[in-house]
Structure 1
Amino acid sequence: MINTLRAKFLGAIQNKKINIFLLFLILSFIILIFTKLSKTYANTIAFKIKRVNVPEERVVLNTSDSTLNMTLSTHGFKWLSYYFNRPEIIIDFSKDVIESGSKYIWTRNNARLFNTSTFTNQVKIIAVYPDTLFFTFDVNSIRKIPVELRQNISFSPGYDSFSGFLISPDSIKVVGPEHVIDTINAIETEMVSLKDVKSNIDITVKLDLPKSLKEVRYTNSDVNLNAEVERFTEGNLKIPITVINTPDDLKLNYFPKEVTISFYTSLNQFNLVKPNDFRVICDYSKLNSEGSFFIPEIVKTSEHVKSVKINNQRVEIIILE
């Protein structure tokens, strides 16, 4: 029993010594890291270039000059921050460049660039490569391009939208080289899929902007889609037929004298639909090749219906001597 207690006591002492050793080892490692990071080092790092205030009517074509290699001398903590967050240099095209022909030129002598928050007194710039950057530009063209809706929207039975789908804005400005934007005829939305719709639609839809056209800018990245959804119904009316373009020396008779039309409209506008809103004609100049019947046409319809069709597909004709 005494031997067991003695063994446990000695083991506890040994474990405590190991814990103290590990603690001192970790503290020594931390002190070593801080000592290293406090020292000054020289190294070369690639700064990403961010272009700002490029005139709207200009577009920078080349993307090769997207980095600036800089040799810096600074302490380890600063190098550590560069490691976690890639640094960038802002080139302000309203101040930092000069225009020459079809190029913007930035030079190392532009000291204003290096008096920013990117470089403090603890950062010494040893070298910059290249010392001159050339940005080729083209004159932009600006066009308004219509927006087209891609949709797979279905309404619940008895529901529809009288005014249809409204996109706002229905067109956007596209800014870029003329030879590029002349190839763009329309900007489509991303696919909108809705089923069994029975209430108003009011959503934001993203535009499917061409990702391959890097030099093109767009005033919008999304549009609003609206639709007023109502209860709908069908109705029928009898409309008299008018025959036109009949030769003066020809007498004819036809049957029937009127046709039945079916129209589709909202419940709110159903009572506004009147027979006088419609006109149905048979054009003699479009008589069928056998000269035995007309195909009736609707040439005037009501503004209160969404769709209309004629139930009678043909009108028989009789030539009178």
Structure 2
Amino acid sequence: MALNNKYNYIAKTVLVFKNTPTKRAFYPLQSDTVDLEVEGTGWQLLFSRLRISPPSISVNLGQLNTKDFIVFSDQLLNVNKQVGSTQKVISVKPDTLYFDFTKRIVKTVDIKLVSHLGFSKQYGLASGVLLSPKKIKVAGPKAELEQITFWPTDTLKISNLQSNSTIRIGLQHSLHKNVSIYPSSTEVKLSVDEFTEKTVEVPLKIVNNK
């Protein structure tokens, strides 16, 4: 194989969706990994076998506002802009992406803090933990949202706490591609105080001593 000659080769890449529909919940009916048929040099073919390929490409889903599918051949120009001028994407397999649609609704649920807090000796929480915001909006299919009563944060881990703290922490990612949340983080305020020990002597009185 002449490394400077042109060859066609396959490079696997992951899809990243952008411009998703705001009023339609959707679920992809195929994998989020596609095969790019790329024209490049022998050097690039060698690198492809070493798993050096575009890690991801973005796909515009704007057409889903009126259609139930996306055709890659309509977006080849945009795809080629993402892989660089030295390579040329000839085709994408599968060429058509199909989506399942359901009615999209929005509900508000409480944020649940997941935490492992450790305190210095004689220190502890002086009051309840404050979250801001303490609720989020969840959007998705009605059947999915009926099962969601709260939304957990990422795990907040702090040790040796002995003063007030304010931390911004992210919310856990949705396990369903057609469920989205807003906002994606919350501010946690911890009010910490020192609890001192004190010895108090009190008189002892015996009653009904017969």
Q: TM-score, normalization: structure 1? A: 0.48
Superposed, which structure 2 residues align to 1:132-281 within 5 Å? Answer: 132-151=96-115, 157=122, 161=126, 163-190=127-154, 197-207=161-171, 209=172, 212-230=175-193
Structure 1 or 2, whichever has the larger Rg, is 1
CA positional deviation for 1:75? 0.8
Distance of 1:72 and 1:158 partners within structure 2? 61
CA separation of 1:36/1:149 partners in 2, compared to 1, >3 Å: closer, same or farther? same
1:99 and 2:99 correspond: no
Distance of 2:181 and 2:134 partners within structure 1? 14
Output the aligned Cα RMSD.
Answer: 3.6
- One-letter identity of the residue aligned with 1:143: K
* Equivalent pairs, count: 193
State, as a whole percentage, how many aligned pairs show the same letter. 23
Equivalent in 23, 48, 73 of residue 39 of structure 2: 73
Deviations 1:36-65 (A, max 9, x none): 321222223334332211123333302515
Distance of 1:158 and 1:65 partners within structure 2? 50
Secondary structure of 2:137 counterpart: strand
Q: Is the 8 A contact 1:141 1:178 kept in 2?
A: yes
CA positional deviation for 1:199? 2.2
Structure holding more helix per residue? 1
1:51 and 2:17 correspond: yes
The match for 2:28 is 62
CA separation of 1:164/1:64 partners in 2, compared to 1, >3 Å: closer, same or farther? same
Superposed, which structure 2 residues align to 1:279-290 within 5 Å? Answer: none
Distance of 2:44 and 2:5 partners within structure 1? 10
Q: Is the 8 A contact 2:11 2:37 kept in 1?
A: yes
- One-letter identity of the residue aligned with 1:60: F
Q: TM-score, normalization: structure 2? A: 0.68
CA positional deviation for 1:105? 3.1
Structure holding more strand per residue? 2
Q: Is the 8 A contact 1:99 1:105 kept in 2?
A: no
The higher relative CO (CA closer than 8 Å, separation ≥ 6) is in 2
Deviations 1:209-254 (A, max 9, x none): 3653343222244422213334679xxxxxxxxxxxxxxxxxxxxx
Task: Using the TM superposition, name which of 113-122 and 130-139 deviates more.
Answer: 113-122
The match for 2:207 is none
Distance of 2:123 and 2:14 partners within structure 1? 58
Q: Is the 8 A contact 1:167 1:226 kept in 2?
A: yes
Equivalent in 66, 73, 85 of residue 53 of structure 2: 85
Distance of 2:131 and 2:2 partners within structure 1? 60
CA positional deviation for 1:146? 0.5
Q: Is the 8 A contact 1:71 1:128 kept in 2?
A: yes
The match for 1:262 is none
Distance of 2:11 and 2:155 partners within structure 1? 43
Deviations 1:61-90 (A, max 9, x none): 025153443433321233345431345442
The match for 1:252 is none
1:123 and 2:91 correspond: no
CA positional deviation for 1:177? 1.6
CA positional deviation for 1:104? 3.0
- One-letter identity of the residue aligned with 1:204: R
